[in-house]
Amino acid sequence: MRLWERSLKELSELVRKKEVKPSEIVSSFIDRKNQVDSKIKAFVSYTDELSLEEAKKKDEEIVKLDNIPSLYGMPIAIKDNISTKGIRTTCSSKMLENFTPVYDATVIEKLKSQGYIIFGKTNLDEFAMGSSTENSAFFTTKNPWDLERVPGGSSGGSAAAVASGQALASLGSDTGGSIRQPAAFCGVVGLKPTYGRVSRYGLVAFASSLDQIGPITRTVEDTAILMNVISGKDSRDSTSKDIPVEDFTQFLNRDIKGLKIGIPKEYFPEDLDNHIRERILNVVKQLEKEGAVVEEISLPYTKYAIETYYIIAPSEASSNLARFDGVRYGYRTKEYSDLEEMYSKTRDEGFGPEVKRRIMIGTYVLSSGYYDAYYLKAQKVRTLIYKDFMNAFENVDVIITPTTPDVAFKIGEKSSDPIQMYLSDIFTVSVNLATVPAINVPCGLKDNLPIGLQIIGKPFDEGTILNVAKKVEDLSGFKLKFFNY
């Protein structure tokens, strides 16, 4: 087996035993990237020279180390809305096309403390606004399983990089499903942690009350390893919670006898694709045979989740993106007669159509006369959605749903219909509104495309959903395929 085909856990063990050098691993991934990324287009920025240089330093340092960290020499890709010191961070927008941060995000600092090696910045929907990576200002990333289909979004580049064997793992961000949905479409594992579990410092903000950084990996165990590193309180992020970080790998392979699984009827509507319904419920039956207790539950306010999300998220976006005005950093229009024209032309030229659409929606619902009718009402419904989940978790330990209503759709299929595009997040947005953790695990195929199963957990109970996810991974028999293009 070639090095780039192995899991993070396997390569980490080989490095720790000093059987493989970090430079050999990085070289293997560079070779794979050179072979396939011209077709996949997962990366906005390559860091090949820097990655190899860092790896060679690690080769020399490792000789003197007794305790080798878990991520030492591991090449990990980073979504291009996470700040990386000295490395371009574009948010896949013309607005930040040439922006180079002067500081690292907290998650990058944590990865560096473990000796990781940055392996490129990955493509996304502009400012993380989208579900297909078709909204990138630069290019559309392709799904590794079918180059005519989308990889999902907004972390499409991160998921495609992992699924195509170009990156060992990656970090993404999830505001309404942006880790889980592309993970589902690309057949990899993606975890949206509890809001406050992972610091948002250095993440370019889309919707600050919803955004959360999380890992995308090939296996559940690899996700647990990454969560051990990136989790924890950060004094620079007032929303991060001071909750002890347990060793998430210790939760894997625990007995699930007596564990209560809730199946919400609202997530299995009559018009859900039958193949997806049957595949997920079949896996649930297998969990039942392992001793889990399954019961149908109701999350009645789920039906309002999409509408609530698309009021709250654009409102926060319109506020957060006001800083991009051409004055301090980022793109500035070349020709203007006064300050007001500079602002308007800069924003018109610098932002793409989807970002403009969401800024306008957000500005509208926050405006005088509409605030109470839309934004305030949406916040009240958000509270009801949160209470739905808390009530459910009084009786069950986890909730299982489909991650997406169908498998990956074709490039261009939904780009002319924003409503249909937004509905592809119908099973994921409520998790962000409720601030709870959820993970996507691939559980089968439909038309040779991956099906995603979503496991939702109680706040800060990532350990339990990782344990159930590992069981699903083992029982489903799904294997990630690497293709030659």
Give the catalytic positions in this structure. Answer: 79, 154, 178
Task: Quote the Cα angle for 136-139-142, to 5°.
Answer: 100
As a whole number of Å, the CA-based R_g of the chain is 21
Write out the H or E segment, with its range, that includes residue 93. none
Taking residue 24's Cβ as centre, other Cβ atoms within 10 Å add up to: 16
d(C-alpha 40, C-alpha 61), whole Å:
34
Instruction: Determine contact, residues 458/436, Cβ cutoff 8 Å.
Output: yes
What Å distances lie between residue 194 and 35, 239, 377, 461, CA to CA?
A: 37, 11, 24, 8
d(C-alpha 338, C-alpha 345), whole Å:
11
Taking residue 477's Cβ as centre, other Cβ atoms within 10 Å add up to: 9
- Write out the E strands in 94-159: 117-122
Q: Cis (ω within 30 of 0) for the bond into 154? A: yes
By C-alpha distance, which of 114, 85, 97, 105 is closest to 172?
105
The torsion region of residue 156 among left (phi > 0), alpha (psi -120 to 50) and beta comes to alpha
d(C-alpha 198, C-alpha 202), whole Å:
11
Residue 263, beta-bridge partner list: 296
Taking residue 3's Cβ as centre, other Cβ atoms within 10 Å add up to: 18
Instruction: Determine contact, residues 439/223, Cβ cutoff 8 Å.
Output: yes
Instruction: Determine contact, residues 378/312, Cβ cutoff 8 Å.
Output: yes
Taking residue 395's Cβ as centre, other Cβ atoms within 10 Å add up to: 10
Residue 388, both tokens: 């739905």
Write out the H or E segment, with its range, that includes residue 431. helix 429-434
